[in-house]
Structure formats: structure tokens, C-alpha cells
């Protein structure tokens, strides 16, 4: 019987122990040598563009995991539209404004307060920040290339460039001309040391778990002498704006009569917690039907919005999110 032999392979033999990092570097070098990114844009019609507005990173800090994840997602989307035949030019930019670089400059200059900055001189301080803001660009370029993301480094923009700031003002002026700008009020986190509002990102940088006290508040029912609803909250600073109370129809409520003659309505399973002394302070406990509570009025804790009572405020409503 003739011996069977495997046909010659059309592919190079794959070693059992491959160096994937080396393969990635070889792939990146091949992309660069063949200028594949540039060709991916140049070979597609200029009148068929896919425009992507990328939020620029801070070059005053090193890349982190969040940048890694966002970069890969952005690159996947843009490669998809490139494969769809669109011309995708990926201009890269740098965010040069904000507190991170200012905080870094303050630490290096030994400045502690806004007064220190004014004494040092705002122009000198701004120029010092300009010298810091782009110090990690080389690390960023290496990072972006290493994760395989295609971007155009030849036409970078910086938010501190006058041309960029003028473009932002042009957009704002265009919105103003179209009557799309209005003046209003918004609550913002504020840093008293920096004397400036804080963005959500900056607020989250100082996030930490802490133990906050909760409070139980009594709301006197209108027309029911010595009867109050008890409400638990971990955000007591919202109480001055309170205009409604909610009960969950799926929760069993109780009416507790104390030996002092007062009556309190609360969740049945919390009676022992709230009235820890038990029979020493409780004279009777009755079931409180939820339906009988709905629509009941109660007295506002503060009189800031008392006139809204005629419009339906300060009433008990049903809500399934109450726990």
C-alpha cells in the first residue's frame, strides 16, 4: 500500500511559542512603511467624508486605562466607516485648558492660593502652564500607535491656540445669531481654593466613600391632629425644596400611637427600629392602608414653596421606587 504524504503547505510554519508583542510591532511597522492610514483617506472621494469630533485628551498627564478603552472604541468605529468607503480624516488634538495643568503648575511653583497666583502674575503663570501642558505628547503618540489606532499627527490642533479659540467663539456667535443662546442658572460644584467652578470630571477626581448620617423627618398631616408621616432620607439638604411624599403600594405601612398621644405612619418593618424602646413609648400599632394615604395633604417643612399647595404640591403619591 502506497504511503500517504501531506501536501506541501502554502503557509509559513507557525512556531508553537510565538512572540505576539513582536508580531504587533512588525504589523505597525508594515502599516507605517506602506502609509496605509494615509492611503485609506487619500483613496476615497473627498466629497464622501465621515467627520468624527474627537474629545482631545490632556497632554499634561500620562495615558490610563480609560484612554485605552476609549481609543480602541473610537478606532473601531472609524475603521468601520472607512471600510464603508468613506474618507475618514482623523485629526488629533490636545486639550490644553482646565485645572489639571494649573494644579500641576501650582505644585511646581509652590503656589497655594489664588492670591499667590495673582502675586506671581497671571501672564507669567499662564506661560508656565503653556510650558507644561504638552510635556507628555511623545508618550501619548507612542501609546496611540501601540494600541493600533490610526490618527493624523501631521495636523495637530491645540485648544490654547488663538485660531482654535477663535473658532469656538465663531461657533458661539453663530448660535447667538440663530437665537439659540439663552441666559439661565445652573448649580455647579465650586472650589473655594481655586475660586472656580468644577467640571464633573474634576469633582469625580476627589470622589471617596464616606459615612453620612441619615435623618428621619416627620411631616404633619393636614387636618389630622397630632398625626405625622415619617420619611427617611440620606439627602437632608434637599428638604427645603420638598414638595411631595411617596409611598410604595407594595410595602405594608403601620400607624403607631405613642403614649404621649401622637400618631406616626411608617413602614411596618421599621417600627422596631424607629421606636427602639418598644412598649415604653408605644401604646398601639394598627395597619395603615396605603390607599387611604394617597392624596393626603401635609404641612410644608418650610414656607418657601407653600403657595404651590394649591397647584397640587405637598401631597402623598404612589411610587414603586420607594424602599
Read off the C-alpha cell for 308: 404651590
276: cell is 427602639
What does the pLDDT read at residue 283? Answer: 93
Q: Record the cell numbers describing residue 74, joined without a space.
A: 473610537
pLDDT at 15 over 90: no
Counting DSSP H helices and E strands in the chain, the numbers are 10, 11
Whether 304 maps to a domain, the answer reads: yes
What CATH number corresponds to the domain at position 304?
3.90.740.10
Tell me the CA distances in angstroms from 222 to 146, 226, 295, 311, 312, one per residue in order. 68, 10, 11, 16, 14
Identify the domain boundary among 200, 231, 252: 200
pLDDT band, residue 45 (cuts 50/70/90): very high
Same domain, 95 and 143: yes
The single residue listed with the C-alpha cell 503663570 is 125
Tell me, what's the pLDDT at 234? 86
135 is a domain residue? yes
Which of 167, 200, 233 delimits the end of a domain?
200
Verify that 80 and 193 share a domain, yes or no: yes
Q: What percent of the chain has pLDDT over 70?
A: 97
Q: Are residues 195 and 259 in the same domain?
A: no
In a domain, 169, yes or no: yes
Rounded Cα gap, residues 56 and 284, in angstroms: 65
Strand partners, 215: 233
What integer pLDDT is reported at residue 10 of this predicted model? 67
- Domain span at 307: 215-318
Residue 121 confidence (pLDDT): 95
- What are 150-178's pLDDT values in tens digits? 999 998 999 999 999 999 999 999 999 99
**Are 26 and 136 in the same domain?**
yes
Q: How far is CA 273 from CA 43, 218, 253, 297, in A?
A: 72, 15, 14, 26
Residue 9 DSSP one-character state = P
Shared domain check, 225 and 174: no
Q: How many domains does the chain divide into?
A: 2
User: What dihedral do alpha carbons 74, 77, 81, 82 form, nearest 10°?
Assistant: 60
pLDDT of residue 183: 92
- 110-115 long-range contacts, CB within 8 A, separation 24+: 113/193, 114/193, 114/194, 114/195
**Tell me: the pLDDT tens digits for 96-146?**
887 878 888 999 999 988 889 999 999 999 999 988 888 888 999 999 999
142, 81 in Cβ contact below 8 A?
no
Work out the pLDDT band at 4, boundaries 50, 70, 90: low
Sorted by sequence, the CB contacts under 8 Å of residue 191 that are 6+ apart come out as 99, 197, 198, 202
Tell me the average pLDDT of the chain.
90
So what's the pLDDT on residue 7?
55
The pLDDT score that the predictor gives to residue 114 is 85
In this predicted model, what pLDDT tens digit does every residue of 173-219 receive, in sequence order?
Answer: 999 999 999 999 988 888 887 778 887 777 877 778 888 778 899 99
Amino acid at each position: 500500500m502506497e504511503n500517504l504524504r501531506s501536501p506541501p503547505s502554502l503557509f509559513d510554519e507557525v512556531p508553537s511559542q510565538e512572540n505576539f508583542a513582536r508580531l504587533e510591532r512588525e504589523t505597525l511597522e508594515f502599516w507605517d512603511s506602506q502609509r496605509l492610514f494615509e492611503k485609506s483617506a487619500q483613496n476615497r472621494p473627498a466629497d464622501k467624508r465621515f467627520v468624527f469630533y474627537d474629545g482631545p485628551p490632556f497632554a499634561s498627564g500620562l495615558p490610563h486605562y480609560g484612554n485605552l478603552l476609549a481609543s480602541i472604541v473610537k478606532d473601531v468605529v472609524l475603521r468601520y466607516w472607512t471600510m464603508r468607503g468613506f474618507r475618514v480624516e482623523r485629526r488629533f488634538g490636545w486639550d490644553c485648558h482646565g485645572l489639571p495643568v494649573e494644579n500641576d503648575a501650582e505644585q511646581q511653583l509652590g503656589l497655594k492660593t489664588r492670591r499667590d497666583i495673582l502675586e506671581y502674575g497671571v501672564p507669567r503663570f499662564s506661560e508656565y502652564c503653556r510650558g507644561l501642558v504638552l510635556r507628555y505628547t511623545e508618550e501619548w503618540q507612542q501609546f496611540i500607535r501601540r494600541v493600533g489606532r490610526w490618527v493624523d499627527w501631521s495636523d495637530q490642533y491645540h485648544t490654547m491656540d488663538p485660531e482654535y479659540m477663535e473658532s469656538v467663539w465663531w461657533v458661539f456667535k453663530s448660535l447667538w445669531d440663530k437665537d439659540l443662546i439663552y441666559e439661565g442658572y445652573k448649580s455647579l460644584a465650586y472650589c473655594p481654593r481655586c475660586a472656580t467652578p468644577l467640571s464633573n470630571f474634576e469633582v469625580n477626581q476627589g470622589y471617596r466613600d464616606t459615612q453620612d448620617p441619615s435623618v428621619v423627618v416627620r411631616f404633619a398631616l393636614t387636618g389630622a391632629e397630632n398625626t405625622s408621616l415619617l420619611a427617611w432620607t440620606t439627602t437632608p439638604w434637599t428638604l427645603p425644596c420638598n414638595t411631595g411624599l411617596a409611598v410604595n403600594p407594595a410595602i405594608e405601612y403601620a400607624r403607631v400611637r405613642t403614649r404621649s398621644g401622637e400618631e406616626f405612619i411608617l413602614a411596618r418593618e421599621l417600627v422596631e427600629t424607629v421606636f427602639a424602646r418598644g412598649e415604653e413609648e408605644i401604646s398601639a400599632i394598627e395597619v395603615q392602608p396605603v390607599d387611604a394615604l394617597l392624596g393626603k395633604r401635609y404641612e410644608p417643612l418650610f414656607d418657601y414653596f407653600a403657595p404651590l399647595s394649591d397647584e397640587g404640591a405637598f401631597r402623598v403619591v404612589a411610587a414603586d421606587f420607594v424602599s
